[in-house]
Amino acid sequence: MKSQSSLSSFVLCISLLAPFTIAEQVEKIRIACIGDSITFGAGVKERDKNSYPKVLGGLLGDQYDVRNYGVSAATLLKKGNKPWWNLQAFKDATAFEPNIVIIKLGTNDSKPPNWQHKSEYAGDLAALVEHFQGLDSKPAVYLCSPAPVAKDRWGINEKTVKEEIIPITEQVAKDKGLTVIDVYSALKPHPELLPDGVHPNVEGALILAKTVFEALKK
């Protein structure tokens, strides 16, 4: 009789624990945010909790694992002065095997020493898309337009971003059947949220995160 009681207690404990065990085993959706200093959160106060990838993770909820692979001064161009391809972030994002990839590069490519290689921009962007699409996780890839440049700084300039980089990004997205997340239009009416002319502040990062969030919802 004692043995039967012990068995019943054991079964009861297992049944009570089962929902938590199953919940712990549910794999989160992995999102890799690829980018430069804007993704990293330069210029954002307390970037560890206010950068756009961090805010995006909060908007999406606990079922998502959103990671920040932004590196200051990084370029998309392989011949740029700091190619994202050559950085540890590239290796880490690849090893993460993301389910969703959000690519937001191009701002630093507008610098004249980098943009002299503009004929290779479309090919390099397409190659980065293909790199992630080739992973075993087969992620959905989204391309972001660069943010507007409220004031030309450090060689970064609005004319190149608006008239050349954004159209190339849109063409690559069309060729690849991808969605372009229009960060440019979302931030353009708010130059005051880019205090140094290039980097969004906390409020700007929030707008960026909400823009990406809305695109993912669709």
Segment 110-121, tens digit of pLDDT: 999 999 999 999
Q: What is the pLDDT of residue 119?
A: 98
Question: Does any domain span residue 117?
Answer: yes
Decide if pLDDT at 69 tops 70. Answer: yes
Q: What is the pLDDT of residue 25?
A: 55
DSSP β-bridge partners for residue 29: 64
CB contact at 8 A, 97 and 30: yes
More confident position, 106 or 22: 106
Cα(9)–Cα(11) distance, integer angstroms = 5
Q: 């994002």: which residue's tokens?
A: 93
Cα(200)–Cα(194) distance, integer angstroms = 4
- How is residue 120 annotated by DSSP? G
Question: Does any domain span residue 142?
Answer: yes
pLDDT in tens, 129-179: 999 999 999 999 999 999 999 999 999 999 999 999 999 999 999 999 999
Decide if pLDDT at 10 tops 70. Answer: no
Helix axis angle for 88-95 and 121-133, nearest 10°, is: 30
Q: For residues 39-67, give the mean pLDDT.
A: 97
Q: What is the pLDDT of residue 141?
A: 98
Q: What is the dihedral of CA 74, 78, 80, 86, to 10 degrees?
A: 50
Q: What is the pLDDT of residue 139?
A: 98
Q: To the nearest whole percent, how much of the chain has pLDDT over 70? A: 89
Decide if pLDDT at 13 tops 50. Answer: no
Q: How many domains does the chain have?
A: 1
Cα(209)–Cα(218) distance, integer angstroms = 15
- Domain containing residue 92: 28-217
Decide if pLDDT at 1 tops 70. Answer: no
Which amino acid belongs to residue 217?
A: K
Cα(26)–Cα(20) distance, integer angstroms = 10
Q: For residues 56-65, give the mean pLDDT.
A: 98
Q: What is the pLDDT of residue 23?
A: 43
Question: Does any domain span residue 157?
Answer: yes
Question: Does any domain span residue 128?
Answer: yes
Question: Does any domain span residue 200?
Answer: yes
Q: What is the pLDDT of residue 145?
A: 98
> Residue 107 CA to chain centroid, in angstroms?
14
pLDDT in tens, 16-39: 444 444 444 579 999 999 999 999
Q: Domain containing 43 — which CATH number?
A: 3.40.50.1110
